[in-house]
Amino acid sequence: MQASTDATVLVTGASGFIAMHCILKLFEQGYKVRGTLRSPERETGLRETFSKYIDDNAQLQFITADLGSDDGWDEAVHGCQFILHVASPFTPAPPKHEDDHIIPAREGTMRVLKAAVAANVKRVVMTSSIVAIVIGHDRDASRTFTENDWSQLERGADAYQKSKTIAERAAWDFVNGLKGDDPLELAVINPGLVLGPILDADFSPSGEVIRKLMRREYPGCPDLGWPVVDVRDVAEAHIAAMNTPEATGKRFICAIENYSMQEIAIVLNKAFAQKGYKIPTRRLPNFIMRIASIWDKTARLVINDLGHRTEVSNDRIKKVLNWKPRSLEEMVVSMANSMIDFGVVQS
């Protein structure tokens, strides 16, 4: 793949799971790409990773810019027609204080948007999440959530869920308040649980579901479930939202059906049992998960989601962006295979 146009797209948080796939998709379609990194030390490893997929690595530029600082953002957005704002704070364990997530998510989004306005950027596509839509509501499959819904943060939202909701609302408030004949355009992608192939061993926390099942870290499957999506389909949605005129001013739920952890385990067992992987497929009682959360910080993140079943509508993204998502089997098996390739899991 080699870039062949003069258009430059900024991708924030370039070392992230979704961002890396966005960068590959942009190069595939002929764009020049500039990515932001919190630390310049990540550049060497990223270039090594991208060199496996991108013929002309010189077309990929990196700028050091952190969501918590004004430094670097004017340089990052200069000359860019589009921005994919993917960066957002997330840790594999609950933060000491919720503001450790909320403040950089909100203020970082404002830094990106203000710099975009100053640089006459045409459109920003922001990565939000379905946690900005479904939290604080009954999630018992009795209703189907749409882009018209917003999370109710006063009803038990955690730090990450608050950060995504507050940052997205701040983005819409800012853009809707702009004046002028040609204001900044905004579209928002709201993915579900993101699976699919990892590109290096430093994988997204969303991959913990697959990693824990492949390594049999639990004796069974907790009563958890999520609307899921392949990372390649998330990247394609970002590029489509960037280029589709009708996407401006809209949010897009980016996920297929709700699948339980047990259903994911059954897919893994079918694909990998004969290769020596002992995948736990029985249902794990909720009290076991609550006990595990005492020492397992990842379990602590999902303890409030036990027993929930979240149904979402992807009608808008299919209609407006012509989105054609991959199947559960493809995203699960491809993620597991890539984790094997990078030594994240072993039989």
The residues carrying an active-site annotation are 164
> CA 136 → CA 42, 304, 305, distances in Å?
37, 11, 11
DSSP state of 205: G
> CA 176 → CA 80, 90, 170, 185, 191, distances in Å?
21, 27, 10, 9, 23
How many whole angstroms separate alpha carbon 347 and alpha carbon 67?
Answer: 39
The answer to whether 30 and 4 are in contact (CB under 8 A) is yes
Which string of b and e fits 277-295 if b means at least 16 CB within 10 Å?
bebbbeebeeeebeebbee
How many whole angstroms separate alpha carbon 151 and alpha carbon 172?
Answer: 15
How many whole angstroms separate alpha carbon 26 and alpha carbon 234?
Answer: 13
